[in-house]
Amino acid sequence: MAVVDPVVMRRLKQFHPERILFGYLFDLSVIALAIAITLQSYWFYPIAIFVIAARQHGMGVLMHEGVHFLIFKNKKLNDAVTRYFLSLPLFISMKHFRSQHLAHHAHTNDPVHDPDWARRLKLDGWIFPMSPSHLFSIFLKDFFLLNTFEMVQRFSGQQSHVGARLTWMEFITTLLYYSVVAFVLFHFHIFHLFLLFWVLPMLMPLKVIRRIRGISEHHGMVVLGTRTVIGSKFDRFFLSPWNINLHIEHHRFPQVPCFGLTELHECLMKDSEFKKTAAIYPDYYSVYKECTRPIESPSLTCVST
List the chain domain ranges.
6-206
**Average pLDDT of 5-14?**
96
Burial of 286 (0-12, 13-18, 19+ CB in 10 A): middle
Q: In Å, how far are 64, 103, 106 from 163, measured between CA atoms?
A: 18, 11, 15
* pTM summary value: 0.92
Residues 6+ apart with CB under 8 A from 84: 177
CB 147 within 8 A of CB 138: yes
CA gap 85, 27 in Å, rounded: 12
**Residue 303's pLDDT band (cuts 50, 70, 90):** very low
Reported as a pLDDT band with limits 50, 70 and 90, residue 300 is: very low
Q: What is the pLDDT of residues 177-232, one digit of tens each?
A: 999 999 999 999 999 999 999 999 999 999 999 999 999 999 999 889 999 999 99
pLDDT score at 155? 58
Residue 61's alpha-carbon distances to 56, 86, 147, 176, in angstroms, are: 9, 9, 23, 25
What is the chain's mean pLDDT, rounded? Answer: 92
Q: What are 128-181's pLDDT values in tens digits?
A: 999 999 999 999 999 999 987 666 666 555 555 555 678 899 999 999 999 999
